Structure 1
Protein backbone atom coordinates (compact mmCIF):
# COMPACT_ATOMS: atom_id res chain seq x y z
CA UNK A 1 0.00 0.00 0.00
CA UNK A 2 1.12 3.57 -0.57
CA UNK A 3 2.87 5.46 2.19
CA UNK A 4 0.02 7.04 4.21
CA UNK A 5 2.38 9.66 5.62
CA UNK A 6 3.40 10.90 2.18
CA UNK A 7 0.44 12.61 0.47
CA UNK A 8 2.09 12.42 -2.96
CA UNK A 9 1.84 8.62 -2.96
CA UNK A 10 -1.60 8.31 -1.39
CA UNK A 11 -4.40 6.61 -3.28
CA UNK A 12 -7.49 8.76 -2.94
CA UNK A 13 -10.82 7.48 -4.13
CA UNK A 14 -14.23 9.07 -4.53
CA UNK A 15 -17.45 7.10 -4.10
CA UNK A 16 -20.29 9.31 -5.34
CA UNK A 17 -24.03 8.84 -5.03
CA UNK A 18 -27.25 10.37 -3.82
CA UNK A 19 -27.50 7.92 -0.90
CA UNK A 20 -31.24 8.49 -0.50
CA UNK A 21 -31.16 6.46 1.63
CA UNK A 22 -27.79 4.86 2.27
CA UNK A 23 -28.23 1.08 2.09
CA UNK A 24 -26.33 -1.97 3.27
CA UNK A 25 -25.18 -2.33 -0.35
CA UNK A 26 -23.60 1.13 -0.24
CA UNK A 27 -21.90 0.28 3.05
CA UNK A 28 -20.55 -2.94 1.54
CA UNK A 29 -18.96 -1.01 -1.35
CA UNK A 30 -17.60 1.65 1.02
CA UNK A 31 -16.01 -0.98 3.28
CA UNK A 32 -14.44 -2.79 0.35
CA UNK A 33 -13.20 0.43 -1.29
CA UNK A 34 -11.70 1.57 2.02
CA UNK A 35 -9.49 -1.54 2.05
CA UNK A 36 -8.06 -0.56 -1.35
CA UNK A 37 -7.41 3.13 -0.69
CA UNK A 38 -5.49 5.38 1.62
CA UNK A 39 -8.28 7.95 1.73
CA UNK A 40 -11.91 7.67 0.68
CA UNK A 41 -14.28 10.53 0.02
CA UNK A 42 -17.96 9.70 -0.09
CA UNK A 43 -19.52 12.38 -2.28
CA UNK A 44 -23.20 12.97 -1.60
CA UNK A 45 -24.81 14.45 -4.71
CA UNK A 46 -27.47 17.12 -4.34
CA UNK A 47 -29.66 15.49 -7.02
CA UNK A 48 -32.89 17.43 -6.54
CA UNK A 49 -34.24 15.96 -9.79
CA UNK A 50 -34.72 12.55 -8.15
CA UNK A 51 -37.13 13.95 -5.54
CA UNK A 52 -35.13 12.75 -2.53
CA UNK A 53 -36.78 11.50 0.67
CA UNK A 54 -34.09 13.27 2.71
CA UNK A 55 -32.50 16.68 2.30
CA UNK A 56 -28.86 16.90 1.29
CA UNK A 57 -27.90 17.77 4.87
CA UNK A 58 -29.83 14.80 6.25
CA UNK A 59 -28.24 12.40 3.76
CA UNK A 60 -24.74 13.67 4.63
CA UNK A 61 -25.52 13.24 8.34
CA UNK A 62 -26.83 9.69 7.82
CA UNK A 63 -23.86 8.64 5.70
CA UNK A 64 -21.43 10.02 8.31
CA UNK A 65 -23.23 8.16 11.10
CA UNK A 66 -23.39 4.86 9.22
CA UNK A 67 -19.75 4.78 8.04
CA UNK A 68 -18.16 5.62 11.40
CA UNK A 69 -17.48 1.97 12.27
CA UNK A 70 -16.01 1.25 8.83
CA UNK A 71 -13.55 4.13 9.18
CA UNK A 72 -12.48 3.13 12.69
CA UNK A 73 -12.14 -0.53 11.71
CA UNK A 74 -9.83 0.41 8.82
CA UNK A 75 -7.93 3.03 10.82
CA UNK A 76 -8.63 5.70 8.26
CA UNK A 77 -10.66 8.80 7.78
CA UNK A 78 -13.53 8.47 5.37
CA UNK A 79 -14.77 11.92 4.51
CA UNK A 80 -18.34 12.67 3.56
CA UNK A 81 -18.69 15.77 1.41
CA UNK A 82 -21.77 17.07 -0.41
CA UNK A 83 -21.35 18.21 -4.01
CA UNK A 84 -23.34 19.76 -6.83
CA UNK A 85 -20.75 19.97 -9.58
CA UNK A 86 -19.60 17.80 -12.44
CA UNK A 87 -18.27 14.56 -10.96
CA UNK A 88 -14.82 14.81 -12.54
CA UNK A 89 -14.47 18.39 -11.28
CA UNK A 90 -15.38 17.23 -7.79
CA UNK A 91 -12.90 14.33 -8.06
CA UNK A 92 -10.12 16.78 -8.90
CA UNK A 93 -11.23 19.12 -6.11
CA UNK A 94 -10.79 16.37 -3.50
CA UNK A 95 -7.59 15.03 -5.09
CA UNK A 96 -9.11 11.71 -6.16
CA UNK A 97 -7.40 9.68 -8.85
CA UNK A 98 -10.12 7.03 -8.73
CA UNK A 99 -13.91 7.06 -8.91
CA UNK A 100 -15.41 4.00 -7.23
CA UNK A 101 -18.71 2.69 -8.57
CA UNK A 102 -20.71 -0.25 -7.32
CA UNK A 103 -22.36 -2.63 -9.76
CA UNK A 104 -25.35 -4.78 -8.87
CA UNK A 105 -26.45 -6.22 -12.20
CA UNK A 106 -25.87 -6.09 -15.95
CA UNK A 107 -28.39 -3.23 -16.18
CA UNK A 108 -26.11 -1.10 -13.95
CA UNK A 109 -23.15 -1.86 -16.19
CA UNK A 110 -24.76 -0.33 -19.29
CA UNK A 111 -25.27 3.03 -17.58
CA UNK A 112 -22.00 2.95 -15.65
CA UNK A 113 -19.82 2.16 -18.68
CA UNK A 114 -21.29 5.17 -20.48
CA UNK A 115 -20.57 7.40 -17.48
CA UNK A 116 -17.05 6.01 -17.15
CA UNK A 117 -16.39 6.75 -20.81
CA UNK A 118 -17.66 10.31 -20.51
CA UNK A 119 -15.64 10.89 -17.34
CA UNK A 120 -12.51 9.45 -18.95
CA UNK A 121 -12.88 11.73 -21.95
CA UNK A 122 -13.13 14.76 -19.64
CA UNK A 123 -10.50 13.60 -17.12
CA UNK A 124 -8.21 10.83 -18.41
CA UNK A 125 -6.15 11.09 -15.21
CA UNK A 126 -9.11 9.89 -13.10
CA UNK A 127 -9.83 6.16 -13.37
CA UNK A 128 -13.22 4.58 -12.75
CA UNK A 129 -13.08 1.34 -10.78
CA UNK A 130 -16.08 -0.96 -10.52
CA UNK A 131 -16.76 -3.10 -7.46
CA UNK A 132 -19.37 -5.80 -7.77
CA UNK A 133 -21.91 -5.82 -4.98
CA UNK A 134 -21.72 -8.82 -2.69
CA UNK A 135 -24.33 -11.42 -3.57
CA UNK A 136 -26.30 -10.58 -0.43
CA UNK A 137 -26.66 -6.96 -1.59
CA UNK A 138 -26.98 -7.23 -5.37
CA UNK A 139 -30.70 -6.52 -5.46
CA UNK A 140 -30.79 -3.57 -3.04
CA UNK A 141 -31.60 -0.21 -4.62
CA UNK A 142 -32.46 2.96 -2.71
CA UNK A 143 -35.44 3.51 -4.98
CA UNK A 144 -36.87 0.08 -4.12
CA UNK A 145 -36.15 0.49 -0.41
CA UNK A 146 -38.19 3.71 -0.37
CA UNK A 147 -41.03 2.08 -2.31
CA UNK A 148 -41.19 -0.95 -0.01
CA UNK A 149 -41.10 1.31 3.06
CA UNK A 150 -43.88 3.55 1.72
CA UNK A 151 -46.03 0.46 1.15
CA UNK A 152 -45.46 -0.77 4.71
CA UNK A 153 -42.94 -3.52 3.97
CA UNK A 154 -40.05 -4.56 6.18
CA UNK A 155 -36.81 -2.88 5.03
CA UNK A 156 -34.72 -3.77 8.09
CA UNK A 157 -32.45 -6.13 6.14
CA UNK A 158 -31.75 -3.53 3.45
CA UNK A 159 -30.58 -0.52 5.50
CA UNK A 160 -28.56 0.02 8.66
CA UNK A 161 -30.44 0.67 11.94
CA UNK A 162 -30.07 4.46 12.20
CA UNK A 163 -31.19 4.90 8.62
CA UNK A 164 -34.10 2.51 9.16
CA UNK A 165 -35.31 4.57 12.10
CA UNK A 166 -35.08 7.82 10.12
CA UNK A 167 -36.90 6.36 7.09
CA UNK A 168 -39.74 5.08 9.24
CA UNK A 169 -40.00 8.45 11.04
CA UNK A 170 -40.11 10.29 7.73
CA UNK A 171 -42.68 8.01 6.13
CA UNK A 172 -44.94 7.86 9.21
CA UNK A 173 -44.53 11.58 9.98
Structure 2
Protein backbone atom coordinates (compact mmCIF):
# COMPACT_ATOMS: atom_id res chain seq x y z
CA UNK A 1 0.00 0.00 0.00
CA UNK A 2 1.39 3.40 -1.02
CA UNK A 3 1.10 5.95 1.81
CA UNK A 4 1.57 9.68 1.34
CA UNK A 5 1.92 12.44 3.93
CA UNK A 6 0.66 15.98 3.33
CA UNK A 7 2.08 18.08 6.20
CA UNK A 8 1.10 21.58 7.25
CA UNK A 9 -0.18 23.84 9.97
CA UNK A 10 -3.58 24.36 8.28
CA UNK A 11 -4.25 27.53 10.27
CA UNK A 12 -6.88 27.70 8.84
CA UNK A 13 -7.40 25.03 6.19
CA UNK A 14 -8.06 26.80 2.86
CA UNK A 15 -9.57 25.88 -0.49
CA UNK A 16 -5.99 25.62 -1.74
CA UNK A 17 -5.21 22.98 0.88
CA UNK A 18 -8.38 21.10 -0.03
CA UNK A 19 -7.38 21.09 -3.71
CA UNK A 20 -4.01 19.52 -2.86
CA UNK A 21 -5.67 17.02 -0.49
CA UNK A 22 -8.15 15.86 -3.16
CA UNK A 23 -5.50 15.56 -5.83
CA UNK A 24 -2.87 14.05 -3.54
CA UNK A 25 -5.32 11.39 -2.37
CA UNK A 26 -5.57 10.16 -5.97
CA UNK A 27 -1.82 9.44 -6.04
CA UNK A 28 -1.69 7.16 -2.99
CA UNK A 29 -3.73 4.42 -1.34
CA UNK A 30 -3.74 6.30 1.97
CA UNK A 31 -3.13 10.01 2.50
CA UNK A 32 -2.12 11.14 5.98
CA UNK A 33 -2.66 14.81 6.62
CA UNK A 34 -0.05 15.68 9.21
CA UNK A 35 -1.11 18.69 11.27
CA UNK A 36 1.77 20.33 13.07
CA UNK A 37 2.71 23.52 14.85
CA UNK A 38 5.41 25.61 13.25
CA UNK A 39 7.40 27.40 15.98
CA UNK A 40 8.05 30.33 13.62
CA UNK A 41 4.31 30.97 13.20
CA UNK A 42 1.79 32.14 15.78
CA UNK A 43 -1.36 30.12 15.14
CA UNK A 44 -4.85 31.55 15.36
CA UNK A 45 -6.23 28.12 16.27
CA UNK A 46 -4.91 25.49 18.68
CA UNK A 47 -3.64 22.18 17.36
CA UNK A 48 -6.84 20.49 18.54
CA UNK A 49 -9.01 23.10 16.78
CA UNK A 50 -7.02 22.76 13.54
CA UNK A 51 -7.26 18.96 13.73
CA UNK A 52 -11.05 19.16 14.14
CA UNK A 53 -11.29 21.70 11.31
CA UNK A 54 -9.30 19.56 8.87
CA UNK A 55 -11.15 16.38 9.87
CA UNK A 56 -14.49 18.07 9.26
CA UNK A 57 -13.37 19.44 5.89
CA UNK A 58 -12.07 16.08 4.62
CA UNK A 59 -15.11 14.16 5.88
CA UNK A 60 -16.70 12.71 2.78
CA UNK A 61 -13.51 12.91 0.72
CA UNK A 62 -12.96 9.18 1.19
CA UNK A 63 -11.92 6.72 3.84
CA UNK A 64 -8.34 6.71 2.58
CA UNK A 65 -7.60 10.08 4.25
CA UNK A 66 -6.44 10.29 7.86
CA UNK A 67 -5.71 13.40 9.92
CA UNK A 68 -2.88 12.93 12.42
CA UNK A 69 -1.07 15.44 14.66
CA UNK A 70 2.71 15.50 14.79
CA UNK A 71 5.45 17.34 16.61
CA UNK A 72 8.65 15.90 15.19
CA UNK A 73 10.81 16.03 12.11
CA UNK A 74 8.65 15.46 9.05
CA UNK A 75 10.74 12.50 7.94
CA UNK A 76 10.42 10.84 11.36
CA UNK A 77 6.64 11.31 11.19
CA UNK A 78 6.53 10.00 7.60
CA UNK A 79 8.53 6.90 8.58
CA UNK A 80 6.14 6.22 11.48
CA UNK A 81 3.21 6.46 9.06
CA UNK A 82 4.85 4.05 6.62
CA UNK A 83 4.93 6.75 3.94
CA UNK A 84 6.86 6.53 0.71
CA UNK A 85 5.74 9.96 -0.52
CA UNK A 86 5.57 13.50 0.87
CA UNK A 87 2.96 15.60 -0.94
CA UNK A 88 3.62 19.33 -1.14
CA UNK A 89 1.64 22.07 -2.85
CA UNK A 90 3.29 24.86 -4.82
CA UNK A 91 1.76 28.26 -5.50
CA UNK A 92 4.62 30.38 -6.80
CA UNK A 93 8.35 30.54 -7.47
CA UNK A 94 8.98 31.60 -3.86
CA UNK A 95 7.28 28.38 -2.70
CA UNK A 96 9.45 26.35 -5.05
CA UNK A 97 12.71 27.76 -3.69
CA UNK A 98 11.74 26.96 -0.11
CA UNK A 99 10.24 23.56 -0.95
CA UNK A 100 13.22 22.59 -3.12
CA UNK A 101 15.58 23.23 -0.22
CA UNK A 102 13.33 21.32 2.20
CA UNK A 103 13.02 18.37 -0.20
CA UNK A 104 16.81 18.23 -0.49
CA UNK A 105 17.27 18.25 3.28
CA UNK A 106 14.55 15.62 3.72
CA UNK A 107 16.20 13.43 1.08
CA UNK A 108 19.42 13.63 3.10
CA UNK A 109 17.49 12.40 6.14
CA UNK A 110 15.70 9.58 4.30
CA UNK A 111 16.24 8.90 0.60
CA UNK A 112 13.53 6.21 0.52
CA UNK A 113 10.77 8.82 0.79
CA UNK A 114 10.13 10.91 -2.32
CA UNK A 115 8.71 14.42 -2.34
CA UNK A 116 6.00 15.06 -4.92
CA UNK A 117 5.03 18.63 -5.79
CA UNK A 118 1.53 19.49 -6.96
CA UNK A 119 0.88 22.87 -8.52
CA UNK A 120 -2.09 24.59 -6.96
CA UNK A 121 -5.05 25.17 -9.24
CA UNK A 122 -4.56 28.52 -10.98
CA UNK A 123 -7.64 30.02 -9.32
CA UNK A 124 -6.30 29.03 -5.89
CA UNK A 125 -2.63 29.98 -6.25
CA UNK A 126 -2.73 33.27 -4.33
CA UNK A 127 -4.40 31.73 -1.26
CA UNK A 128 -2.27 31.50 1.86
CA UNK A 129 -3.53 30.89 5.41
CA UNK A 130 -1.44 33.83 6.63
CA UNK A 131 -3.18 36.18 4.19
CA UNK A 132 -6.62 34.75 4.96
CA UNK A 133 -6.07 35.54 8.65
CA UNK A 134 -4.78 39.02 7.85
CA UNK A 135 -7.76 39.81 5.63
CA UNK A 136 -10.13 38.56 8.33
CA UNK A 137 -8.37 40.58 11.05
CA UNK A 138 -9.08 43.74 9.05
CA UNK A 139 -12.72 42.81 8.42
CA UNK A 140 -12.31 41.65 4.83
CA UNK A 141 -14.38 38.95 3.15
CA UNK A 142 -12.56 35.60 3.13
CA UNK A 143 -15.40 33.56 1.63
CA UNK A 144 -13.54 33.06 -1.68
CA UNK A 145 -10.61 31.40 0.10
CA UNK A 146 -12.18 29.00 2.63
CA UNK A 147 -15.36 26.97 3.03
CA UNK A 148 -18.36 28.65 4.70
CA UNK A 149 -17.79 26.70 7.94
CA UNK A 150 -14.12 27.67 8.13
CA UNK A 151 -15.07 31.29 7.34
CA UNK A 152 -17.49 31.27 10.27
CA UNK A 153 -14.80 29.85 12.59
CA UNK A 154 -12.22 32.44 11.51
CA UNK A 155 -14.69 35.32 11.83
CA UNK A 156 -15.73 34.14 15.31
CA UNK A 157 -12.08 33.86 16.38
CA UNK A 158 -11.29 37.33 15.03
CA UNK A 159 -14.24 38.73 16.98
CA UNK A 160 -12.91 37.11 20.18
CA UNK A 161 -9.39 38.41 19.50
CA UNK A 162 -10.61 41.87 18.57
CA UNK A 163 -10.57 42.96 14.92
CA UNK A 164 -7.85 45.41 13.83
CA UNK A 165 -8.75 48.70 12.23
CA UNK A 166 -12.11 48.97 14.00
* Matched residue, 1:111: 98
* Matched residue, 1:4: none
Normalised to the residue count of structure 1, the TM-score between the two structures is 0.91
**Cα separation, 2, equivalents of 1:69 and 1:156:** 21
* Matched residue, 1:171: 158
* Matched residue, 1:158: 145
Structure 1 residue 127 and structure 2 residue 114: aligned?
Answer: yes
Q: Structure 2 regions of 5+ residues with no counterpart? A: 161-166
**Cα separation, 1, equivalents of 2:91 and 2:114:** 20
Q: Structure 1 regions of 5+ residues with no counterpart? A: 1-9
Q: Quote how far apart the aligned CAs of 1:60 are.
A: 0.3
**Cα separation, 2, equivalents of 1:161 and 1:24:** 11
Structure 1 residue 13 and structure 2 residue 14: aligned?
Answer: no
Equivalent of residue 74 in structure 2, options 66, 87, 91: 87
* Matched residue, 2:30: 39
**Cα separation, 2, equivalents of 1:58 and 1:21:** 9
**Cα separation, 1, equivalents of 2:139 and 2:123:** 22
Structure 1 residue 53 and structure 2 residue 60: aligned?
Answer: no
Deviations 1:68-92 (A, max 9, x none): 1222xxxx33110010000000000
Normalised to the residue count of structure 2, the TM-score between the two structures is 0.94
- Measured on the aligned residues, the alpha-carbon RMSD in Å equals 0.8
Which sits farther off after the overlay, 45-54 or 31-40?
45-54
**Cα separation, 1, equivalents of 2:72 and 2:26:** 27
